[in-house]
Amino acid sequence: MVEIENYSAVYQDGNHSLLALDRVTFSLNEGYITVLIGESGSGKTTMANAIMGLLPKNTVTEGSIRLNGDELTHLDDDSYRKLRWRTMAMVFQNSAAVLNPVQRIVNQVAEPLIYHLGIKKEEALQITEKKLAHMSISSDEMFRYPHELSGGQIQRTLFAMALILNPRVLILDEPTSAMDAALKAFMISLLKELKSKGTAILLITHDLDLAVKTADEAIMLYLGQIMEVLPARDLMQTLFHPCTVAMCRSFPTMDAVRDLGGMRGDAFYRYTHVHRLSDGKTEPHVHIAAGADREGGHAPILGCLFRPRCTQAVEECGRTSIQLTQAGTHKVRCVRGGIVDLLQLKQIKKAYGRITAVDNASVSLRAGEILTIVGETGSGKTTLAMIAAGAIEQDSGMRTFKDRTIDEWIKNERFSFASEVGIIYQNPAESVSHRFTVYDIVAEPLHIQNKSSGAAASKKRSGTQNEEERKKVLNALTDVHLPVEPDFLMRHPHELNMGAIQRLCIARALVHDPVLIVADEPTSALDPSVQAKVIKLLLNLQIEKGLTIIFVTHDIGVARKISDRICVMLAGRIVEIGPASKIINEPRHPYTELLIDSARGELIHFESPKSEQSVSPDGCPFANRCSRRVGKCLEMNPPCSNVQGQSHLFWCFNPVVLFSYDKKMRTDGEK
């Protein structure tokens, strides 16, 4: 019903202009809900106002907006007034400011009936009372003034006004921002009712849960550009663009288990102004208001707008104008085609004598995510993580990093690879030299990665400090909230508490600005208070520096709070891997269920293995402890199965039935 094509909007302000929308293209269709998501200032409300013909006079626009094939951008105010309420209606964001403070709400809702249909006031009021009652506004409330109503009541009043003439196109700007959970549920049912009647709906919201439950298509806007178009059902689960991932990571849901994240850095507004060149010609520039990489004081004209905040940006991201391209059921504006796999491990095997530490493990790590490896002691977690970090060489299998083979990279450019990876070892007090000062400990990777040149070693022995090195060391200490005073820099490890030593180890891992951090049980030796601080520190660093992290822990409770994805290992094998919310709320492997039950403090009873039922080396490593085992569990390793496409994988012949864990928890609660 509504087609928006290559639409741009610029707000003029003297010699400067604010680019609010940049060549936006999408459509609104009958019986279809399209949702616009994005940070404040991304252009969502500007797009809604443009469709309704409500942009201010200082707006310069390009492109097309068509309603049933008829162009709207050339209409005058009178022509637009004939469309509003009857054909198109909008529920505005600042609900209280929209209503007339000196008019009763029933009279205001009746205005479109009187103005557009010429209905007499008495009849209009009767129709209005029914519509307000349908919106759960009582007969007493509808005769009140706006200031006598709650925010939710005002919002429902505006809904009644927007729907009073049954428009075919409905635009909702943050419709549930003033509603409690019960009213939000009412609103969801109302949207589904309107959708079934064929209404074309544009939903603008920060509530991603509302978007998933009601919308058909989601559009991610960033600084006026569409970054990703995707089925709304994929929000919070299957995302391609780093911008969309960061937005969804910031939203609290009932299913979310990880602490809230966010986008690194700050957005900037796209102010354009004109520079006069030496030859007398002029050239437009995009001026930075805040954040972003500064290029001569200006944001780049070409390239990806999200590049300064992206976790996988490369030089190519700033060279050319980037278009939306099809990627499966998504469209994504990314020169790399969406989020890439930073690290891939394929069929990794590692043995120490007769002990197999890692057995045929395959896992990938997406740029900017936190993958937590969990499992009991001896399950192969640390070995797999150190193989990924390049600290241990596998016996067989392939490992790649940034699309390069790690083994060849280490062989030819060992120090180049080492600069890409930072390692936080399991025992902080034992992973640093007790003869080193704080400064020497943090600066150690810089000395090593300087190819251990004689000049570097000589400088270190003589006590002279390279200024660039000193700056990096002080920045790393500041990042982990440690002092940078000379007295602290000269302290030795035995003069620090365990929490400070752990932060020191994190600073050492960060000092050379790595892309990947491998953290092996970084909180196991800490008390709960310090552990919480270190975890929050790592999460904040991951967001602000765009780090990708492999986090090793035996505590699935810790994994629950930090992970994007969880990988469960047992006896060197991966038995389950998937999104953290799915692993925690819907575990499929019995061993994963056992870990979660143990973390909840439940008493675990193992079934005693029968002597005649020994497990073959090829059998499931959990078979002798599993009450769900069947005969073939003892003889062969289960094949890979998946839930929801390929995102949640498990290896089990007789998996935990979907939702049985939730039912079990409810039953235990009732008992």
The per-residue pLDDT for range 206-220, each reduced to its tens digit, is 888 889 999 999 999
Is the pLDDT higher at 634 or at 204?
204
Mean pLDDT across the stretch 129-143? 89
Contact 518, 386 (CB under 8 A): yes
State the residue for tokens 């780093």. Answer: 242
The pLDDT value recorded for residue 295 is: 47
3-state helix, strand, coil in the chain (%, to 5): 35, 25, 40
Choose among 334, 37, 66, 312: nearest CA to 200: 66
Maximum mean pLDDT: which of 173-177, 316-320, 564-568, 621-625: 564-568
Give the integer Cα–Cα distance in Å for 588 and 416: 40
Average pLDDT rounded to a whole number, residues 180-202: 88
Sign, CA torsion 554/248/532/549: positive
- pLDDT at residue 666 tops 60: no
Residue with the larger pLDDT of the pair 257 and 340: 340
Residue 275 pLDDT > 60, yes or no? no
Q: Which of 173-177, 391-395, 664-668 has the lowest mean pLDDT?
A: 664-668
CA 506 – CA 517 distance, rounded (Å)? 9
Please tell me whether residue 562 adopts helix, strand or coil conformation: helix
Question: CB–CB of 120/199 below 8 Å?
Answer: no
The answer, as to whether pTM is greater than 0.85, is no
Residue 509 one-letter amino acid: A
Average pLDDT over residues 471-493: 91
Domains located in the chain, CATH noted: 96-164 (no CATH), 341-567 (3.40.50.300), 588-670 (no CATH)
What mean pLDDT is predicted for residues 501-514? 91
What's residue 615's pLDDT? Answer: 72
Q: What pLDDT, in 10s, does the model give residues 3-27?
A: 999 999 988 877 677 888 989 999 9
**Per-residue confidence (pLDDT) for residue 269, from 0 to 100:** 67
Q: What confidence score (pLDDT) does residue 551 get?
A: 95
User: pLDDT tens-digit profile of 346-382?
Assistant: 999 999 988 999 999 999 999 989 999 999 888 999 9
User: Cβ(552)–Cβ(521) under 8 Å?
Assistant: yes
Q: How confident is the model at residue 238 (pLDDT cuts 50, 70, 90)?
A: confident
| CA pair distance 484, 476, nearest whole angstrom | 10
Give the pLDDT confidence score for residue 645 in this predicted structure: 59
Q: What is the pLDDT of residues 430-468, one digit of tens each?
A: 888 899 999 999 998 888 877 544 444 444 444 545 888
Weakest-pLDDT range from 158-172, 179-193, 257-271, 654-668: 654-668
Q: Name the token pair of 502.
A: 């752990």
Beta-carbon count within 10 A of 490 CB: 12
Per-chain mean pLDDT for the chain: 84
Instruction: Report yes or no: 167 and 67 within 8 Å, Cβ to Cβ.
Output: no
